[in-house]
Structure 1
């Protein structure tokens, strides 16, 4: 019912069939437009009657009849010109033009859009324009009486704001939760930042066919997430073709073009038969190009055209091939920097950068390690057909190490998966013991230390310091202090927080202090060189 302080306005199309009738016998017919004003519990202050000029005579009769049954209702008449009342484009355009020219005043008036009259096309257009809020109101539909001549029939009002329907809202919330759970493989992740990221990806995945770019370090789960996006779209019947995955880092030389775009027989030495290529294999489905930054510039140019035009030339062919696929690209490198360095095409980056999502490394999601540990054990059981579990103390010890500051998880989920696989394989009687955990922890520490040394070899101390200090500042630091400061900066960049970095750097001496304050010690050390936590983590 309308609010008492607002006027009630109805808008409707004249129905040349249902609203027709002449003479006194017309009152024996059920005429939906007139019946709208015969309900005692529905007071309408103004009616906007839309009609085509060829039905002017009928319009006059209906307008007069409305005034006779509802004298308080003001009737306004509007001509609409439809070349073809069954042409969707023509009807939608005419009604849309009316909406744009009409002076709606929702603060003072409530609007009801009558969708009982007009062609089916017109009714669909009225529904769409109301749903999209061009008509800022509700729908009203009338129905004839159950017995002929027994009154004005009935009416029903539909508010298209679905948030007002508790059961529907609950249903959509449940479907959204199911979709995000699918993207997370059913893992009850606890990181608020990661959960918000997945919710955003879910909205984009079901609403858009545009390319998606997943950015994150190796092992952060880009490939797994791409496959889950595919499964989500497939479950919504938004995609029917296959999931095709390729690591671009494995495509080298002349074979890269052939692998992606295919070739024809005889196009080069060794081309003994036609090859369709991965893009054609992904037709109607989803193509995941991991490490897209490793593609050569020629392949990048071909890929851009394939994305934009759905067409490309196989190697050695003068006939274009077609493929309609959705692209998900993955990378662990800085693509804007690659553009600046001439290694990646700026136009391709612009095309795939519409939806970019950065997957955090595992060390920034330590609260998610425990549910992922359970998930990895379940995967092992499915894969090997053997159920394995930790004893309580072993699980506690592994988790204490895994979420601690000195667990760097350089390989991210690949490291976690490998650790669980090793421990489960060595578990006698299906139980992972404290001894097995201790062995695995030592192994991970040696592995990460070795990786850190290799990384240090790739970036010298001076290169490390040069990313946070000016040349003049570096010249004022003794060589001994340079070595120490460079290592401190490396640890900071591998740690999630100032406290985590402090615990790693002062692991030995902190045990001798009654009240260790690792964060404060590290903060004061950095301040000696004019640095703070944020500055140390740059570069």
Structure 2
């Protein structure tokens, strides 16, 4: 028994629209699914807002039946409060797929990504790539002339293991990235190579804070610079690399150096100062020996990480700065938390690497 071909898709409220005899001269992507001789689905699962688009859906379904009499169309009333709001669209599609009775041993599945908003198309892609949707992408394209022809289609399989050349390029790029982090030094030390591989994964996919732990002279500053250079090459950080050793920050100057101050904030503050956090906007801030920071500075830093804003010394107006933080320490910060000299919530914000 041949396997059934099942296509999921959203009703195109603009692309699928058309009334009267003239609609047959217009390319309509959902209707075109019933017009390809070499790819004719057995069933279409059509998602739409029935309250608003029932009339359009009825026309599309009737035209599909006319083009392919044996084609089954199942309509699913799917309400999207805002079709351009990512979280809501993703949640709606995710929940729909979670409740759908897939039968992969008997059916092949495709998701039609030509219709729906760009947000919906991205969500379909993510759900397919993560295997929440156990199928492939189906993209249709119009003919060169609007003459009622079927146009063309392409099936896209997101299992990159099928594409050896692409997989090889990814693997080669990973090796180059890790070589950059290691400063070009070849080593067979399994633990070191595993650590570099983990850092490369986090550095290229996340802007989460990182904590590098190791003795003085272990190369924490150099590694932080390499992470910045890697992210710069990938156009992830357009800003600067800013570095400071927190052990050199003392007294009122610590707050001012990190968060800036306004003119007259304290004796000797003869002009405004931006501070390192603002200087690192859209860049990378490396705070070496972060365990030397005072508790007040730690509290300010935590708020800056969570809310991307803070108060310069002497100012009643907040400023904004979005930066990636890499911190370094030669201390056991878990022990410092127990002693009360380091904030537990700040430590929890950092990903640890030794």
Q: Name which of structure 1's ranges 223-232 and 58-67 shifts more when overlaid on structure 2.
A: 58-67
- Confirm or deny that 1:257 pairs with 2:255: yes
Which residue matches 1:211?
209
Distance 1:304 1:92 in 2: 31
Alpha-carbon deviation of 1:179? 1.4
1:102 to 100, 106, 121: 100
Q: Which of 37, 41, 48 pairs up with 2:38?
A: 41
- More helix by percentage: 1
| Separation in structure 2 between the aligned mates of residue 13 and residue 155 of structure 1, nearest angstrom | 16
Instruction: Report SS of the residue matched to 1:269.
Output: coil
- Matched residue SS, 1:240: coil
| 2:213–2:353 contact (8 Å) kept in structure 1 | yes
Q: What is the number of equivalent residue pairs in this alignment?
A: 353
1:344-383 matches, within 5 Å, as: 344-352=342-350, 355-358=351-354
**Matching of residues 131-146 of structure 1 within 5 Å:** 131-145=129-143
Tell me which protein shows more strand as a share of its residues: 2
1:435 paired residue number: none
Q: Measured at CA, do residues 222 and 57 of structure 1 come closer, stay the same or move farther in structure 2, by a change above 3 Å?
A: same
Given the alignment of the two structures, is residue 51 of structure 1 paired with residue 66 of structure 2, yes or no? no
Q: 2:164 aligns with which of 158, 163, 166?
A: 166
Deviation at 1:193, TM superposition (A): 1.7
For 2:172 and 2:262, the matched residues in 1 are separated by 49
TM value normalised by structure 1: 0.59
Q: What whole-Å deviation, never above 9, does each CA across 1:346-405 have from its counterpart, x for those lacking one?
A: 2222222xx1111xxxxxxxxxxxxxxxxxxxxxxxxxxxxxxxxxxxxxxxxxxxxxxx
1:354-433 residue pairs with structure 2 within 5 A?
Answer: 355-358=351-354
CA 1:137–1:323 in structure 2 vs 1: closer, same or farther (change >3 Å)?
same
Q: Is contact 2:27-2:148 (8 Å) kept?
A: no
Instruction: Give how far 1:46 is off.
Output: 1.9
Counterpart mapping for 1:181-330 below 5 A: 181-330=179-328
Q: State the structure with bigger RCO (CA 8 A, min sep 6), 1 or 2.
A: 2
Equivalent residue number for residue 14 of structure 1:
11
130-139 or 233-242, larger mean C-alpha shift: 130-139
* Cα distance in structure 1, aligned partners of 2:215 and 2:304: 27
After superposition, the Cα gap between the structure-2 partners of 1:267 and 1:106, relative to the gap in structure 1 and judged at 3 Å, is: same
In 2 relative to 1, CA 273–36 (structure 1 residues): closer, same or farther, beyond 3 Å? closer
C-alpha separation between the residues in 2 aligned to 1:98 and 1:172?
33
Give the C-alpha shift of residue 83 in structure 1.
5.8
Summarize the Cα distance change of 1:288–1:76 in structure 2 as closer, same or farther, 3 Å threshold.
Answer: same
Q: Which has the larger radius of gyration?
A: 1
CA distance in 1, matches of 2:163, 2:170: 11
TM-score, length of structure 2 as denominator length: 0.86
1:27 positional shift: 5.5
Please report the RMSD computed on the Cα atoms of aligned residues, expressed in angstroms: 3.0
Whole-Å Cα distance in 1 between the matches of residues 21 and 328 of structure 2?
A: 74
Contact 2:242 2:286 in 1 (8 A): yes
